Amino acid sequence: MHLGTKIQFGDCTRFALPGPARLAESSEECLRTLGLGFRARNLPRMAQLVDGRMNLEALRTQTLEEGREILMSLPGVGPKVADCVLLFGLDHLDAFPIDRWVRRAVTGRYHGGSKISDRVLQEWARKYFGPYAGYAQQYLFFAQRTFG
């Protein structure tokens, strides 16, 4: 089962990502069969809120903090997901999403393995790596997953 429209490239068939309207009308059960796991519970409601009511493109011009706050008002969106959307979808290259891999990479390589809150790590990363902290985050994630 696929929710996006079919795209054909020669002999290769793929499916586009579905828009918010299509996701909003999907059931949690349907979304779970597509492999969305625990995210399936919140996705239809989030899609309803976004579809026609929230201008995601406007988040490009807002500050990182404003964009994060708006995205985190959606059900199921926490700091990491908000920062991923801002970095990968909305050109906030200073966003620094933190998951277990990035936390291990940063604390191990730069802070002697100390326990540091995600908020403090993000502030540190934006100061240390500057306006392209998001690029550094990707390299750190890759290095941690690949080399430990």
Catalytic center residues: 80
Which among 58, 51, 146, 141 has a CA at the least distance from the CA of 104?
A: 141
What type of residue sits at position 75? P
**CA 120 to CA 100: how far, in whole Å?**
15
112: its two tokens: 């002697």
What are the E-state strand segments in the chain? 6-9, 12-15
Residue 18 CA neighbour count, 13 Å, CB half: 16
Residue 98 and residue 122: Cα distance in Å, rounded?
A: 8
- What six digits make up the tokens of 23? 């996701």
Containing 125, the helix (H) or strand (E) segment is helix 118-129
